[in-house]
Amino acid sequence: MIRWLFWLLGGLLLGGIVHLGSVLLLPRTATQDAYTRLSPSAPANSMVPMPAATPDDAVLPFMDPAFAFSVCRYDLTGGPLKLRVPVSQAYTAVSFYTRNGVAYYAINDRAAGRKTIELDLMTPQQHADLPDDEEVTSADRLIIESPTATGLILVRALGPEPGLMPMARRALSGAQCRQQG
């Protein structure tokens, strides 16, 4: 009897390790994460408008129905990415996610402070490889470092009333993400 209690205790301890291990490994093995869900509909390094969510059909869970959104699935292995997003009348935000869905950077139209949000996205290595003189001229352009070579950019424009959704969608249709050189 005592012997089985020891086996049980050992099993519970091992279970604790299994638990921690599975939590840490899950992001790498997930088959339904946002990047995987978006891969069929969003070709790499181009801005793709997403259909409005409905109860039967949503590309991603828990998306805000008051927003129009576009997605750029990026792959920086071929070079840095240039992002241009014209802001809409109401509210526009750009969020950056790693391959595993970690939101590492987000900016809204007010923080950007202009009519167009312009950003350069690159890996830390590509940033380090930038020539020095270019660094100086780039003072007015925002450089974001992506922790992973692949990931997602989510561009969202608010339609404050249902009648303003076409306006939000139109504003997003001008958004671009393009690989440089």
The site for other proteins (CB under 8 A) is made up of 3-4, 7-8, 10-19, 21-24, 26-27, 30, 32-34, 36-37, 53-56, 58, 60-67, 90-91, 93, 95-97, 100-108, 110-111, 147, 152, 154, 156, 158-161
**Closest CB to other proteins among residues 81, 99:** 99
**Closest CB to other proteins among residues 55, 181:** 55
CA distance 128 to 144: 12
Residue for token pair 């100086």: 136
- What is the smallest separation between the CB atom of 102 and other proteins, expressed in angstroms? 6
- What is the smallest separation between the CB atom of 81 and other proteins, expressed in angstroms? 17
- What is the smallest separation between the CB atom of 80 and other proteins, expressed in angstroms? 20
**Closest CB to other proteins among residues 13, 78:** 13
